[in-house]
Amino acid sequence: MKKKQGIIPTIQPKQKKKVSRKQSTFNGRIKKIERLKKQVLEAREALEAGRSKVAQELEPVANKYNDIRFSLVKVLDKAYSLKFFRRREKEKINDMILTLTSELIKSMHNEELFEIHNRHIDIVNEAEDMTDEERAWEDEQVEEMSKEMLKEFVKDMMGVDIDVDDIDMNNPEEEFDKLRQKIEQKQFEQAEEEAKKQKNKKKTKAQQKREEKKKAEEKMIGQTSRKIYTQLAKMLHPDYAKDEEEKEWKTEAMKEVTEAYQKDDFFTLLRLQLQYFEKAEGDLNELTDEQLKYYNKILLEQVRELEREYYDLTAWGPTGRFYQQYCGASGDRNIKREVQSYKNAVGEIETEIKIFSEKKGLRNYLKGYEIEDFFPFDMDFFDF
């Protein structure tokens, strides 16, 4: 048994005879799977390279940016305690501190930062002269409003009603996966419910016939993959090796075969069949139309699965957003742009620290500072 490298399991025309329509479909799907596998592999490699580049080039300067902003928070916190500033000026300083700390808490875990943030939240609450019950009621109203808006958004965009009571609206990035799982679970339940309704409907003889045919096809599809796997397992089992060298390569080959079967990777099973056998039982050129029909159905499902995998890697959710932003040539440009932006911002904040460290400098800045109205709902949460 000789191993052949670089095998692509396509059907080749014999002499002047052209490939049939089913054979052409088979070849087309095989080539598409090969292309998609390459794209998935390249996407995974690009993600790994992007993560490495972000860790090496972007994260250090982003951390420096957060550190310098925290230094600015401490300068403002110190200024707030000075009797030099009037009540309205202190309100503005407090607002500046809360704006900064609210952003920093998302990316920094620092006890001093939490203490400053909570202390200035208390200052706002005391200024509003609210009781604990009133503050709790207001927080509850804000939470309910945010969740109601989230629920309506998901219903409009995804077509499902979900329970959002356990979604933490203060940490949308951390809650993204939970929200996605809820949406997918609800979509699955709706699909199941619809399937049950269809099942309970009185079926015509034609519908019953189609269902029986579908079940028979599903059985044949399962047997098709199983037959190839059984054949490979029998021929490649290490216990039947003649010597240690053959046992070694058969052991590795069986790992590859088993992995492909467990992943329903029919393409790889076909490739391995041709790779390890000089003359495989059921040569691709000798497949009947009936066999090709089942082969083509299996390959189509594998095409769809690879397309979903590629979409998840490059276009959906946090992984897809990361891929679009930091991978490939455009990713390199974005990283360089963000690095430069962080460096510029660090320089600007260093200047602000110098200005705000002087009481008169901070007072002059506060003259043009406006306290913005608070809106609790972060629409970035819905970046699907």
User: CA 191, 195, 199: angle at the middle one, nearest 5?
Assistant: 170
Alpha helices in the chain (DSSP H): 21-53, 59-80, 87-104, 111-127, 132-158, 172-200, 205-236, 244-262, 266-276, 289-314, 317-326, 328-356, 359-367
Q: Is the confidence at residue 278, as pLDDT, over 60?
A: no
pLDDT of amino acid 126: 72
pLDDT value at residue 283: 63
Evaluate whether residue 13 is within a structural domain: no
Residue 1, in any domain of the structure = no
The token duo for 313 is 């890697």
pLDDT score, position 206:
66
The answer as to whether 8 is a domain residue is no
Provide the phi-psi class of 103: left if phi over 0, else alpha when psi is between -120 and 50, else beta.
alpha
CB distance 65 to 345 below 8 Å: yes
C-alpha of 311 from chain center: 9
DSSP letter assigned to residue 58: I
146-160, 188-202, 341-355: least confident range: 188-202
pLDDT tens digits for 315-347?
A: 878 889 999 999 988 999 999 999 999 999 999
Highest mean pLDDT among 107-121, 148-162, 200-214: 107-121
What is the model's pLDDT at position 134?
62
Give a yes or no: residue 4 inside a domain.
no
Query: Residue 128 and residue 124: Cα distance in Å, rounded?
Result: 6
- pLDDT confidence band for 218 (50 / 70 / 90): low
Minimal CA–CA distance to 93: which of 377, 353, 365? 365
Per-residue pLDDT at 220: 63
More confident residue, 107 or 352: 352
Higher per-residue pLDDT: 74 or 382 = 74
Banded model confidence at residue 222, pLDDT cuts 50, 70, 90: low
CA distance 95 to 101: 10
Q: Do 272 and 2 contact (CB within 8 A), yes or no?
A: no
Query: What single letter denotes the amino acid at residue 384?
Result: F
Task: Decide if pLDDT at 363 tops 90.
Answer: yes
The encoded tokens of residue 310 equal 């590629």
Residues 6+ apart with CB under 8 A from 29: 296, 299, 300, 302, 303
CA–CA gap between residue 77 and residue 129 (Å, rounded):
22
Calculate the CA 304 to chain-centre distance: 18
**143 has pLDDT over 60:** yes
Region 124-150: what's the mean pLDDT?
A: 69
- The residue behind tokens 């390459």 is 38
Read off the pLDDT of residues 40-66 as tens digits, 9 standing for 90 and up.
Answer: 999 999 999 999 999 999 999 999 999
Q: Considering its fold, how many domains does the chain have in total?
A: 1
Reply yes or no on whether the pLDDT at 275 is more than 90. Answer: no
pLDDT grade for 16, boundaries at 50, 70 and 90: low
How many Å apart are CA 346 and CA 63, to the nearest integer?
Answer: 10
Lowest average pLDDT, out of 128-132, 139-143, 148-152, 229-233, goes to: 128-132
Is position 344 within any domain?
Answer: yes
The answer to whether position 15 is within a domain reads no
> According to the model, what pLDDT value does residue 281 have?
44
Q: How far is CA 350 from CA 64, 102, 112, 233, 355, in A?
A: 11, 20, 20, 67, 9
With cut-offs at 50, 70 and 90, classify the pLDDT of residue 14: low
> For residue 234, is it within any domain?
yes
Better-scored residue on pLDDT, 314 or 208: 314
Q: Which domain holds residue 178?
A: 21-382
User: How many CA atoms are closer than 13 Å to the CA of 306, on its beta-carbon side?
Assistant: 25
Q: How confident is the model at residue 149 (pLDDT cuts 50, 70, 90)?
A: confident
- In the three-class reduction of DSSP (H, G, I as helix; E, B as strand; rest coil), residue 54 is classed as helix
User: Bigger pLDDT: 175 or 113?
Assistant: 113
129 has a pLDDT exceeding 60:
no
For 91-114, how does the pLDDT look when each residue is reduced to its tens digit (9 = 90+)? 999 999 999 999 899 888 889 999
The SS3 of residue 369 is: coil
Residues contacting 313, CB < 8 A, separation 6+? 40, 43, 44, 47, 319, 320, 323
Does residue 9 sit within a domain? Answer: no
User: What type of residue sits at position 103?
Assistant: E
